[in-house]
Amino acid sequence: MTAIGVQIINTLLLIRLLDSTNLNKMVVIHGEPLTFTNYSTSSLNWNSCMSYCYQMLTCIAVHYYDQNPECQIFEIGKIHDLKQLDAYSGKIMAVKMLSNPTQCSSTSDGNSMRGEVSTSSMYQNYSITANLDIWSISASPLYKCPDSFRLFHRVLGMWCIGVSTVYFIFKLGQIQVVVTGPITQQDGSQLCIQDYLGVLSGFDSRDELRYMIDTVVLLVPSNTAYLWYGYWINGFRKETCRFSNQTGSDCSGIKGFTLTDPLLSNREWYLWGYDGQPNGMSDGLGTSNCIANRVNIHDGGGIDDIP
Ligand SMILES: *[C@@H]1O[C@H](CO)[C@@H](O)[C@H](O)[C@H]1NC(C)=O
Ligand SMILES: *[C@@H]1O[C@H](CO)[C@@H](O)[C@H](O)[C@H]1NC(C)=O
Ligand SMILES: *[C@@H]1O[C@H](CO)[C@@H](O)[C@H](O)[C@H]1NC(C)=O
Protein backbone atom coordinates (compact mmCIF):
# COMPACT_ATOMS: atom_id res chain seq x y z
CA MET A 1 0.00 0.00 0.00
CA THR A 2 1.19 3.46 0.78
CA ALA A 3 4.05 4.70 2.90
CA ILE A 4 1.96 4.71 6.01
CA GLY A 5 1.85 0.96 5.76
CA VAL A 6 5.51 0.81 6.58
CA GLN A 7 5.11 3.07 9.52
CA ILE A 8 2.63 0.92 11.36
CA ILE A 9 4.27 -2.36 10.56
CA ASN A 10 5.73 -2.95 14.01
CA THR A 11 2.65 -2.28 16.03
CA LEU A 12 0.29 -4.21 13.88
CA LEU A 13 -1.55 -7.23 15.11
CA LEU A 14 -4.28 -8.90 13.15
CA ILE A 15 -7.32 -10.52 14.60
CA ARG A 16 -9.38 -12.91 12.53
CA LEU A 17 -12.23 -14.42 14.44
CA LEU A 18 -13.87 -17.56 13.16
CA ASP A 19 -16.90 -16.30 11.40
CA SER A 20 -17.07 -17.29 7.77
CA THR A 21 -19.70 -14.74 6.79
CA ASN A 22 -17.87 -11.79 8.29
CA LEU A 23 -15.35 -10.41 5.84
CA ASN A 24 -13.91 -7.93 8.29
CA LYS A 25 -10.90 -7.95 10.51
CA MET A 26 -9.87 -5.79 13.43
CA VAL A 27 -6.55 -4.01 12.98
CA VAL A 28 -4.99 -3.23 16.35
CA ILE A 29 -2.76 -0.24 16.98
CA HIS A 30 -1.63 1.82 19.93
CA GLY A 31 -3.63 4.99 19.66
CA GLU A 32 -6.53 7.12 20.82
CA PRO A 33 -9.55 8.81 19.27
CA LEU A 34 -8.88 12.40 18.28
CA THR A 35 -12.07 13.82 16.77
CA PHE A 36 -15.42 12.15 17.21
CA THR A 37 -19.01 13.10 17.92
CA ASN A 38 -20.13 10.29 20.17
CA TYR A 39 -19.35 6.86 21.51
CA SER A 40 -20.88 4.36 23.87
CA THR A 41 -19.10 2.49 26.65
CA SER A 42 -19.22 -0.94 28.17
CA SER A 43 -17.32 -2.71 30.94
CA LEU A 44 -16.03 -5.44 28.62
CA ASN A 45 -12.35 -6.38 28.82
CA TRP A 46 -10.16 -5.62 25.82
CA ASN A 47 -10.61 -8.93 24.00
CA SER A 48 -14.36 -8.93 24.45
CA CYS A 49 -14.44 -5.27 23.47
CA MET A 50 -12.82 -6.12 20.13
CA SER A 51 -15.11 -9.10 19.53
CA TYR A 52 -18.09 -6.96 20.38
CA CYS A 53 -17.13 -4.41 17.73
CA TYR A 54 -16.34 -7.14 15.24
CA GLN A 55 -19.86 -8.53 15.65
CA MET A 56 -21.69 -5.20 15.84
CA LEU A 57 -22.82 -4.08 12.41
CA THR A 58 -22.23 -0.35 12.79
CA CYS A 59 -19.16 -0.37 15.06
CA ILE A 60 -15.98 0.60 13.23
CA ALA A 61 -13.51 1.20 16.06
CA VAL A 62 -12.99 0.57 19.76
CA HIS A 63 -10.63 2.18 22.25
CA TYR A 64 -9.30 0.96 25.57
CA TYR A 65 -6.99 2.57 28.09
CA ASP A 66 -5.62 0.35 30.82
CA GLN A 67 -5.51 3.18 33.40
CA ASN A 68 -9.24 3.65 32.98
CA PRO A 69 -10.44 0.33 31.71
CA GLU A 70 -13.65 0.67 29.75
CA CYS A 71 -14.56 -0.38 26.25
CA GLN A 72 -15.32 2.71 24.13
CA ILE A 73 -17.35 1.87 21.06
CA PHE A 74 -17.38 4.12 17.97
CA GLU A 75 -19.94 3.74 15.22
CA ILE A 76 -19.61 4.69 11.57
CA GLY A 77 -19.97 8.43 11.02
CA LYS A 78 -19.19 9.25 14.66
CA ILE A 79 -15.40 9.06 14.62
CA HIS A 80 -13.32 11.10 12.21
CA ASP A 81 -9.68 10.96 13.28
CA LEU A 82 -7.52 8.90 15.56
CA LYS A 83 -3.93 9.30 16.58
CA GLN A 84 -1.31 6.59 16.67
CA LEU A 85 0.70 6.48 19.89
CA ASP A 86 3.57 4.37 21.12
CA ALA A 87 3.25 1.28 23.23
CA TYR A 88 4.03 3.16 26.48
CA SER A 89 0.78 5.09 26.17
CA GLY A 90 -1.22 2.11 27.39
CA LYS A 91 -3.91 3.20 24.94
CA ILE A 92 -5.03 0.76 22.35
CA MET A 93 -7.51 0.82 19.47
CA ALA A 94 -8.92 -1.75 17.10
CA VAL A 95 -10.22 -0.52 13.74
CA LYS A 96 -12.54 -2.64 11.66
CA MET A 97 -11.82 -2.99 7.96
CA LEU A 98 -12.49 -5.37 5.13
CA SER A 99 -10.01 -8.18 4.89
CA ASN A 100 -9.00 -10.09 1.85
CA PRO A 101 -10.58 -13.48 2.49
CA THR A 102 -7.80 -15.36 0.73
CA GLN A 103 -5.00 -13.76 2.66
CA CYS A 104 -4.29 -13.10 6.31
CA SER A 105 -1.42 -10.74 5.98
CA SER A 106 0.71 -9.92 8.98
CA THR A 107 1.85 -6.65 7.47
CA SER A 108 -0.05 -3.45 6.85
CA ASP A 109 0.24 -4.10 3.12
CA GLY A 110 -2.54 -6.59 3.53
CA ASN A 111 -4.91 -3.99 4.92
CA SER A 112 -7.67 -2.59 2.77
CA MET A 113 -8.01 0.60 4.84
CA ARG A 114 -11.68 0.57 3.90
CA GLY A 115 -14.82 -0.93 5.27
CA GLU A 116 -18.54 -1.09 4.78
CA VAL A 117 -21.73 -1.51 6.75
CA SER A 118 -24.06 -3.43 4.53
CA THR A 119 -27.43 -5.15 4.89
CA SER A 120 -30.15 -5.99 2.39
CA SER A 121 -31.72 -2.59 2.95
CA MET A 122 -28.87 -0.21 3.85
CA TYR A 123 -25.30 0.58 2.87
CA GLN A 124 -22.57 2.90 4.05
CA ASN A 125 -18.83 2.65 3.57
CA TYR A 126 -15.70 4.38 4.77
CA SER A 127 -12.09 4.73 3.85
CA ILE A 128 -9.16 5.43 6.11
CA THR A 129 -6.17 7.49 5.12
CA ALA A 130 -3.11 7.69 7.31
CA ASN A 131 -0.90 10.73 7.32
CA LEU A 132 2.06 10.65 9.72
CA ASP A 133 0.44 9.43 12.93
CA ILE A 134 -3.13 10.54 12.17
CA TRP A 135 -5.67 8.18 10.69
CA SER A 136 -8.64 9.97 9.09
CA ILE A 137 -11.84 8.06 8.54
CA SER A 138 -14.26 9.38 5.96
CA ALA A 139 -17.70 7.85 5.63
CA SER A 140 -19.98 7.89 2.59
CA PRO A 141 -23.60 9.01 2.89
CA LEU A 142 -25.89 6.46 4.46
CA TYR A 143 -28.14 4.76 1.91
CA LYS A 144 -31.16 3.39 3.70
CA CYS A 145 -34.40 2.06 2.21
CA PRO A 146 -37.91 2.33 3.69
CA ASP A 147 -39.09 -0.68 5.72
CA SER A 148 -39.61 -3.82 3.63
CA PHE A 149 -37.74 -2.41 0.63
CA ARG A 150 -34.53 -3.91 -0.70
CA LEU A 151 -31.43 -1.94 -1.66
CA PHE A 152 -29.84 -2.64 -5.05
CA HIS A 153 -26.38 -1.41 -5.97
CA ARG A 154 -27.10 -0.31 -9.54
CA VAL A 155 -24.50 0.76 -12.05
CA LEU A 156 -25.93 4.29 -11.91
CA GLY A 157 -26.41 4.46 -8.12
CA MET A 158 -28.22 3.06 -5.12
CA TRP A 159 -31.87 2.10 -5.71
CA CYS A 160 -34.56 0.89 -3.29
CA ILE A 161 -37.26 -1.47 -4.60
CA GLY A 162 -40.40 -2.46 -2.76
CA VAL A 163 -43.80 -3.86 -3.61
CA SER A 164 -46.84 -1.89 -2.63
CA THR A 165 -50.25 -3.49 -2.47
CA VAL A 166 -53.28 -1.29 -2.29
CA TYR A 167 -55.90 -2.17 0.29
CA PHE A 168 -59.48 -1.06 0.19
CA ILE A 169 -61.25 -0.97 3.52
CA PHE A 170 -65.01 -1.47 3.69
CA LYS A 171 -67.19 -1.23 6.74
CA LEU A 172 -69.81 -3.95 7.06
CA GLY A 173 -71.74 -3.09 10.20
CA GLN A 174 -69.10 -3.22 12.94
CA ILE A 175 -66.67 -5.28 10.91
CA GLN A 176 -63.94 -3.84 8.76
CA VAL A 177 -63.22 -5.86 5.66
CA VAL A 178 -59.86 -5.36 4.01
CA VAL A 179 -59.44 -6.43 0.41
CA THR A 180 -56.78 -5.76 -2.16
CA GLY A 181 -57.94 -4.46 -5.48
CA PRO A 182 -56.91 -3.21 -8.85
CA ILE A 183 -55.70 0.32 -9.47
CA THR A 184 -54.56 2.07 -12.62
CA GLN A 185 -50.90 2.55 -13.40
CA GLN A 186 -51.41 6.26 -13.01
CA ASP A 187 -52.78 5.84 -9.48
CA GLY A 188 -49.97 3.41 -8.68
CA SER A 189 -47.50 5.97 -9.88
CA GLN A 190 -49.18 8.60 -7.76
CA LEU A 191 -48.93 6.39 -4.67
CA CYS A 192 -45.19 5.97 -5.24
CA ILE A 193 -44.84 9.74 -5.18
CA GLN A 194 -47.18 10.27 -2.27
CA ASP A 195 -45.87 7.52 0.02
CA TYR A 196 -42.17 7.43 -0.89
CA LEU A 197 -41.37 10.38 -3.18
CA GLY A 198 -40.59 7.61 -5.65
CA VAL A 199 -41.37 6.43 -9.15
CA LEU A 200 -42.49 3.06 -10.45
CA SER A 201 -39.37 0.97 -10.80
CA GLY A 202 -38.01 -0.81 -13.84
CA PHE A 203 -35.67 -3.79 -13.69
CA ASP A 204 -31.96 -3.16 -14.02
CA SER A 205 -30.72 -6.68 -13.34
CA ARG A 206 -31.74 -10.31 -13.02
CA ASP A 207 -31.56 -9.90 -9.22
CA GLU A 208 -34.13 -7.12 -9.27
CA LEU A 209 -36.50 -9.08 -11.47
CA ARG A 210 -36.08 -12.17 -9.27
CA TYR A 211 -36.62 -10.16 -6.09
CA MET A 212 -39.84 -8.65 -7.44
CA ILE A 213 -41.20 -12.00 -8.61
CA ASP A 214 -40.28 -13.81 -5.39
CA THR A 215 -41.92 -11.08 -3.35
CA VAL A 216 -45.20 -10.93 -5.22
CA VAL A 217 -45.66 -14.67 -5.84
CA LEU A 218 -46.32 -14.96 -2.10
CA LEU A 219 -49.10 -12.38 -2.34
CA VAL A 220 -51.17 -14.21 -4.97
CA PRO A 221 -54.13 -16.02 -3.37
CA SER A 222 -53.89 -19.76 -3.98
CA ASN A 223 -57.60 -20.03 -4.89
CA THR A 224 -57.59 -17.22 -7.42
CA ALA A 225 -59.60 -17.58 -10.62
CA TYR A 226 -57.26 -15.26 -12.51
CA LEU A 227 -54.54 -16.60 -14.75
CA TRP A 228 -52.15 -13.83 -13.73
CA TYR A 229 -51.80 -11.08 -11.18
CA GLY A 230 -50.08 -7.96 -12.45
CA TYR A 231 -47.89 -5.38 -10.74
CA TRP A 232 -47.29 -2.06 -12.43
CA ILE A 233 -43.74 -1.27 -13.38
CA ASN A 234 -42.14 1.74 -15.05
CA GLY A 235 -43.05 2.28 -18.71
CA PHE A 236 -45.67 4.22 -20.70
CA ARG A 237 -46.24 3.71 -24.41
CA LYS A 238 -45.19 6.57 -26.68
CA GLU A 239 -47.97 8.26 -28.58
CA THR A 240 -46.14 7.45 -31.77
CA CYS A 241 -46.32 3.69 -31.09
CA ARG A 242 -49.97 2.95 -30.31
CA PHE A 243 -51.39 1.48 -33.52
CA SER A 244 -50.26 -1.19 -35.92
CA ASN A 245 -49.92 1.40 -38.69
CA GLN A 246 -47.22 3.13 -36.63
CA THR A 247 -44.70 0.34 -37.01
CA GLY A 248 -41.03 0.95 -37.35
CA SER A 249 -38.05 -0.16 -35.36
CA ASP A 250 -38.53 2.77 -32.98
CA CYS A 251 -41.68 1.08 -31.72
CA SER A 252 -40.45 -2.47 -31.37
CA GLY A 253 -40.76 -4.04 -27.91
CA ILE A 254 -39.65 -1.82 -25.06
CA LYS A 255 -38.42 0.88 -27.48
CA GLY A 256 -42.05 1.88 -27.95
CA PHE A 257 -42.22 2.98 -24.31
CA THR A 258 -40.96 5.99 -22.41
CA LEU A 259 -39.16 4.91 -19.24
CA THR A 260 -38.77 7.35 -16.37
CA ASP A 261 -36.88 5.19 -13.85
CA PRO A 262 -33.92 7.56 -13.46
CA LEU A 263 -31.26 4.97 -12.59
CA LEU A 264 -32.06 2.39 -15.22
CA SER A 265 -28.88 1.51 -17.12
CA ASN A 266 -30.28 -1.09 -19.53
CA ARG A 267 -33.55 -2.59 -20.80
CA GLU A 268 -32.53 -6.24 -20.94
CA TRP A 269 -34.64 -7.26 -17.96
CA TYR A 270 -37.92 -6.05 -19.40
CA LEU A 271 -38.75 -9.60 -20.46
CA TRP A 272 -42.04 -9.85 -22.36
CA GLY A 273 -44.44 -12.74 -21.80
CA TYR A 274 -44.09 -15.54 -24.34
CA ASP A 275 -47.75 -15.21 -25.37
CA GLY A 276 -46.86 -12.69 -28.06
CA GLN A 277 -46.29 -9.67 -25.82
CA PRO A 278 -46.37 -6.78 -26.33
CA ASN A 279 -49.61 -7.08 -28.32
CA GLY A 280 -51.31 -3.78 -27.55
CA MET A 281 -50.55 -2.17 -30.91
CA SER A 282 -52.52 -4.70 -32.92
CA ASP A 283 -55.96 -4.40 -31.32
CA GLY A 284 -56.72 -1.05 -32.96
CA LEU A 285 -57.75 0.48 -29.62
CA GLY A 286 -54.55 2.31 -28.77
CA THR A 287 -55.18 1.91 -25.05
CA SER A 288 -52.72 -0.78 -23.86
CA ASN A 289 -50.14 1.76 -22.90
CA CYS A 290 -48.90 0.59 -19.49
CA ILE A 291 -46.66 -2.28 -18.41
CA ALA A 292 -47.37 -4.83 -15.70
CA ASN A 293 -45.19 -7.66 -14.47
CA ARG A 294 -47.30 -10.82 -14.30
CA VAL A 295 -47.12 -13.55 -11.67
CA ASN A 296 -49.14 -16.55 -10.60
CA ILE A 297 -48.72 -18.64 -7.45
CA HIS A 298 -45.66 -20.36 -8.93
CA ASP A 299 -43.58 -17.86 -10.85
CA GLY A 300 -43.39 -14.82 -13.07
CA GLY A 301 -45.08 -14.76 -16.48
CA GLY A 302 -43.14 -12.01 -18.18
CA ILE A 303 -44.34 -8.49 -18.70
CA ASP A 304 -47.50 -7.48 -20.55
CA ASP A 305 -48.74 -4.22 -22.05
CA ILE A 306 -52.22 -3.51 -20.75
CA PRO A 307 -54.53 -0.49 -20.34
C1 LIG B 1 -24.56 9.57 22.14
O2 LIG B 1 -24.80 8.17 22.19
C3 LIG B 1 -25.71 7.80 23.19
C4 LIG B 1 -25.75 6.28 23.25
O5 LIG B 1 -25.77 5.71 21.97
C6 LIG B 1 -27.07 8.42 22.89
O7 LIG B 1 -27.99 8.08 23.89
C8 LIG B 1 -26.90 9.94 22.83
O9 LIG B 1 -28.12 10.53 22.45
C10 LIG B 1 -25.82 10.32 21.84
N11 LIG B 1 -25.58 11.76 21.88
C12 LIG B 1 -25.41 12.49 20.77
C13 LIG B 1 -25.12 13.94 21.00
O14 LIG B 1 -25.47 12.03 19.65
C1 LIG C 1 -18.26 3.44 -1.30
O2 LIG C 1 -19.39 3.10 -2.09
C3 LIG C 1 -19.53 3.85 -3.28
C4 LIG C 1 -20.85 3.47 -3.92
O5 LIG C 1 -20.92 2.10 -4.19
C6 LIG C 1 -18.32 3.57 -4.19
O7 LIG C 1 -18.43 4.32 -5.36
C8 LIG C 1 -17.05 3.92 -3.43
O9 LIG C 1 -15.92 3.58 -4.21
C10 LIG C 1 -16.98 3.19 -2.10
N11 LIG C 1 -15.83 3.67 -1.34
C12 LIG C 1 -15.09 2.85 -0.60
C13 LIG C 1 -14.00 3.49 0.17
O14 LIG C 1 -15.30 1.66 -0.53
C1 LIG D 1 -53.65 4.39 -37.74
O2 LIG D 1 -54.63 3.54 -37.17
C3 LIG D 1 -55.51 4.15 -36.27
C4 LIG D 1 -56.42 3.09 -35.63
O5 LIG D 1 -56.80 2.13 -36.57
C6 LIG D 1 -56.30 5.25 -36.94
O7 LIG D 1 -57.17 5.88 -36.03
C8 LIG D 1 -55.32 6.26 -37.53
O9 LIG D 1 -56.01 7.25 -38.26
C10 LIG D 1 -54.29 5.57 -38.44
N11 LIG D 1 -53.28 6.55 -38.82
C12 LIG D 1 -52.81 6.62 -40.06
C13 LIG D 1 -51.76 7.68 -40.29
O14 LIG D 1 -53.18 5.89 -40.94
Render pLDDT for 117-162 as a digit per residue (tens, 0 to 9).
999 999 999 999 999 899 999 999 999 999 889 999 999 999 999 9
Determine the distance separating the centroid of ligand 1 and the alpha carbon of 17, expressed in angstroms: 29
Determine the distance separating the centroid of ligand 1 and the alpha carbon of 237, expressed in angstroms: 51
In angstroms, the CA 163 to CA 230 distance is 12
Structural domain spans, the chain: 3-144, 167-306
Which ligand 3 atom is nearest residue 245's CA?
1
* 257 touches 206 (CB < 8 A): no
Condensed to tens digits (0 to 9), the pLDDT of residues 60-91 reads 999 999 899 999 999 999 999 999 999 999 99
Confidence of residue 178 (pLDDT cuts 50, 70, 90): low
In angstroms, the CA 274 to CA 114 distance is 46
DSSP 195: H
Condensed to tens digits (0 to 9), the pLDDT of residues 211-245 reads 999 999 998 888 888 899 999 999 999 999 999 88
Distance of CA 221 to the CA centre of its chain: 29
Determine the distance separating the centroid of ligand 1 and the alpha carbon of 59, expressed in angstroms: 14
The answer, as to whether pTM is greater than 0.75, is: yes
**Mutation probe of ligand 1 site: the residue of 38, 71, 73, 79 with most atoms within 8 A of C-beta:** 38
SS3 of the chain: helix, strand, coil, percent, to 5: 20, 35, 45
Determine the distance separating the centroid of ligand 1 and the alpha carbon of 81, expressed in angstroms: 19
Architecture of domain 167-306: Roll (3.10)
In angstroms, the CA 238 to CA 257 distance is 5
- pLDDT value for 109: 54
Residue 137: which of 92, 49, 74 has the closest Cα? 74
Residue 140: which of 111, 115, 113, 112 has the closest Cα? 115
**How buried is 77 (Cβ within 10 angstroms: 0-12 exposed, 13-18 middle, 19+ buried)?**
buried
> Which residue, judged by its Cα, is nearest atom 13 of ligand 1?
38
Determine the distance separating the centroid of ligand 2 and the alpha carbon of 70, expressed in angstroms: 33
> Which residue, judged by its Cα, is nearest atom 3 of ligand 3?
243
